[in-house]
């Protein structure tokens, strides 16, 4: 698929595992956040003595602290946030970095916290036969309206294939059907994925149209009252437990005034088994619908059923914080390279222990803290290590370095979305963004993975660094998983800023590709978005040190010269970048 038209859709939204979503507030609004909890003393690093150079011990110490039970899973708006942002501020101060948002290390991100009542049920009238779907077991739902009660009563069900409207592909699942006030039911991923048709969209590689975030955005633009995605593990790239864990408990969003795109009253997922049974009651066959939805010319299918739900939620307006630190450039301080990582994770699901016999179906009072060691204490530790190296660099960098730890990534990339709308350094002065998310800790590899490989000239710089380590670059092994659209660099990319998202590869020095893929699968299946994502002192961290050194090398090169890398010719984001650079003149 051509990425050019996809970019226009994505930009319109702004002006919308190991490798596993235009604002009205003025840019000079107050930048310091009001703490959501009583102030606590900044967490210490256990008197750890940090070295100037990137090293495994320092990296491990940061992860150990950030992923500790004391930090309670780093949920936005929680006591864990307070400890996290104070720890980051203390570390940046220790390094001698300056506040990156005026006189503050913090940028307030307004948010609405919504917690759905998990006793909520969906009622489906299937040809006069009532069906009840239970929260967590059969479905999950939520609302982005910020309202404490949302009712949908007798909304007609319409199957809309993959819920995609892509004019450049001559594909519109909404063609010829009016879904205003109705409930759309759809598949995850792109047309062509489940039929393995390489001629549809980008074949195996997921586009933004395949992401669940896009599908809800498009359903809202079409005027639907509700939208339900049918889950399948291959299409989503994760199992139902990840969906359930991610959608239970508090959910966060930007206030409507800061993100005025249309919003659905109700949105959520249904399990594949529940969908199959329900569709059979409606006279439909799930397998046949997969076949139909993957054929060009697919037409939406009205279903002989109606959805009703009375969704009650607890809501409150709060704020969270991005943490921003600056190392001013010695010669061109107005130009900056950004290193970023998201600090937030899923928090403490204490209710799961008593209500569900433990987060993983074990004994009551099981571990319910989602520590997020790999996702993404590892990335935050990475930018801290790189910041340390830059702060001790001799001679100092000519350009500025901005270190950005963003919030609300797990809620749809909201912290980075807010920063891009309210940058502390103008985007047309932002040379590049280097994103660290879920860094591998499985040992040295012969390769590096570039998510979205073939995107920008930043890869040329990374290639030089990798070759100096006798390593090669390649694309992610599972482009169908859509990782490119699932991390915070994506908001910068949509705005045109060249962005690099890279990490260690799978071809390990010890065990080769088989060992690397096995380790990745083990993390995805057993720890990703689960309480098991905890710090492990037995991690092999020599590989992540190499990764950080390579990513530091890219920034050091850019910070020491005058080049302005661009997206490769034909890339969807090149036009936005060219327009951005014209605005700098």
Domain ranges for the chain, please list them.
Answer: 50-354+367-440
Kindly state the tokens that stand for 203.
């074949």
C-alpha span between 383 and 59 (Å, rounded): 10
- CB 103, CB 89: distance < 8 Å: no
pLDDT score recorded for residue 585: 65
Is 1's pLDDT higher than 90?
Answer: no
Reported as a single tens digit per residue, the pLDDT across 70-98 is 999 999 999 999 999 999 999 999 999 99
Query: Which of 8-17, 131-140, 276-285, 421-430 bottoms out in mean pLDDT, i.e. has the lowest?
Result: 8-17
- Helix, strand or coil, per DSSP, at residue 568: coil
pLDDT score recorded for residue 139: 98
pLDDT score recorded for residue 249: 87
- Residue 411's pLDDT band, with cuts at 50, 70 and 90, is confident
- Helix, strand or coil, per DSSP, at residue 430: strand
- Residue 44's pLDDT band, with cuts at 50, 70 and 90, is low
C-alpha span between 500 and 206 (Å, rounded): 18
C-alpha span between 325 and 323 (Å, rounded): 7
C-alpha span between 529 and 542 (Å, rounded): 25
- Residue 352's pLDDT band, with cuts at 50, 70 and 90, is confident
C-alpha span between 393 and 552 (Å, rounded): 11
Of 129, 236, 157, residue with least CA distance to 190: 236
pLDDT score recorded for residue 354: 58
Query: Which of 21-30, 124-133, 241-250, 390-399 bottoms out in mean pLDDT, i.e. has the lowest?
Result: 21-30
Is 30's pLDDT higher than 60?
Answer: no
Task: Compute the average pLDDT of residues 478-492.
Answer: 89
- Residue 46's pLDDT band, with cuts at 50, 70 and 90, is low
Is 100's pLDDT higher than 60?
Answer: yes
Between residues 245 and 125, which one has the greater pLDDT? Answer: 125
Percent helix, strand, coil in the chain, to 5, is 35, 25, 40
C-alpha span between 489 and 433 (Å, rounded): 7
Q: Which stretches does DSSP call E strand in 438-583?
A: 447-450, 472-475, 499-504
Helix intervals (H) in 286-366? 286-293, 350-356
pLDDT score recorded for residue 184: 98
Q: What is the pTM of this model?
A: 0.80
- CB 16, CB 209: distance < 8 Å: no
Task: Compute the average pLDDT of residues 530-542.
Answer: 95
Contacts of 286 (CB under 8 A, 6+ apart): 230, 272, 275, 276, 279, 280
C-alpha span between 450 and 547 (Å, rounded): 11
Give the Å distances, CA to CA, from 14 to 9, 223, 279, 495, 583. 9, 19, 36, 8, 17
C-alpha span between 241 and 132 (Å, rounded): 20
- CB 321, CB 407: distance < 8 Å: yes
Q: What percent of the chain has pLDDT over 70?
A: 90
Query: Which of 2-16, 158-172, 405-419 bottoms out in mean pLDDT, i.e. has the lowest?
Result: 2-16
- Residue 208's pLDDT band, with cuts at 50, 70 and 90, is confident
Buried b (16+ CB within 10 A) or exposed e, 522-553: ebbeebbbbbbbbbeeebbbebbbbbbbbbbb
């Amino acid at each position: 698929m051509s990425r050019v038209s996809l970019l226009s859709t994505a930009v319109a939204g702004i002006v919308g595992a190991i490798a596993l979503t235009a604002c009205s507030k003025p840019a000079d609004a107050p930048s310091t956040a009001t703490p959501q909890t009583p102030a606590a003393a900044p967490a210490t690093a256990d008197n750890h003595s940090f070295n100037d150079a990137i090293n495994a011990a320092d990296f491990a110490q940061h992860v150990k602290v950030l992923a500790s039970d004391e930090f309670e899973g780093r949920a936005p708006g929680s006591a864990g946030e307070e400890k996290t942002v104070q720890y980051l501020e203390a570390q940046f101060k220790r390094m001698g970095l300056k506040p990156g948002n005026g006189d503050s290390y913090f940028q307030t991100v307004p948010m609405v916290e919504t917690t759905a009542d998990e006793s909520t049920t969906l009622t489906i009238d299937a040809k006069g036969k009532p069906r009840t779907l239970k929260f967590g077991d059969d479905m999950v739902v939520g609302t982005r309206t910020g309202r404490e009660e949302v009712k949908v009563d007798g909304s007609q069900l319409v199957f809309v294939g993959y819920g995609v409207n892509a004019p450049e592909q001559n594909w519109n699942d909404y063609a010829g059907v009016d879904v205003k006030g109705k409930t759309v039911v759809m598949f995850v991923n792109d047309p062509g994925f489940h039929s393995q048709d390489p001629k549809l969209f980008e074949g195996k590689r997921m586009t933004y149209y395949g992401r669940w975030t896009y599908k809800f955005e498009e359903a809202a633009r079409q005027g639907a009252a509700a939208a339900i995605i049918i889950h399948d593990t291959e299409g989503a790239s994760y199992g139902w437990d990840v969906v359930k864990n991610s959608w239970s408990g508090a959910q966060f969003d930007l206030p409507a005034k800061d993100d005025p795109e249309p919003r659905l009253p109700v949105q959520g997922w249904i399990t594949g088994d529940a969908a199959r049974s329900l569709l059979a009651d409606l006279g439909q066959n799930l397998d046949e619908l997969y076949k139909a939805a993957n054929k060009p010319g697919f037409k939406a299918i009205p279903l002989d059923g109606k959805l009703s739900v009375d969704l009650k939620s607890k809501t409150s307006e709060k704020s969270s914080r991005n943490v921003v630190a600056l190392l001013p450039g010695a010669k061109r301080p107005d130009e900056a390279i950004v290193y970023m990582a998201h600090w937030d994770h899923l928090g403490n699901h204490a209710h799961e222990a008593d209500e569900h016999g433990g987060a993983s179906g074990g004994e009551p009072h099981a571990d319910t803290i989602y520590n997020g060691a790999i996702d993404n204490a590892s990335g935050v530790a990475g930018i801290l290590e790189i910041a340390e190296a830059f702060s001790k660099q001799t001679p100092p960098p000519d350009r500025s370095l901005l270190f950005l730890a963003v919030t609300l990534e797990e809620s749809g990339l909201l912290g980075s979305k807010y920063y891009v709308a309210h940058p502390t350094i103008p985007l047309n002065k932002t040379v590049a963004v280097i994103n660290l998310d879920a860094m591998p800790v499985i040992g040295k590899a012969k390769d590096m993975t570039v998510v979205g490989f073939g995107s920008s000239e930043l890869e040329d710089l990374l290639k030089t660094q990798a070759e100096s380590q006798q390593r090669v670059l390649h694309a992610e092994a599972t482009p169908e998983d859509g990782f490119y659209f699932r991390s915070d660099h994506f908001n910068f990319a949509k705005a045109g800023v060249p962005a690099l998202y890279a990490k260690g590869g799978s071809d390990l020095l010890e065990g080769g590709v088989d060992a690397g893929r096995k380790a990745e699968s083990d993390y995805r299946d057993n720890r990703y978005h689960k309480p098991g994502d905890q710090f492990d002192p037995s991690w092999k961290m020599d590989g992540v040190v190499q990764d950080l050194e390579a990513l530091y090398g890219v920034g050091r090169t850019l910070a020491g010269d005058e080049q302005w890398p661009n997206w490769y010719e034909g890339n969807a984001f090149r036009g936005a970048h060219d327009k951005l650079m014209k605005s700098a003149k």
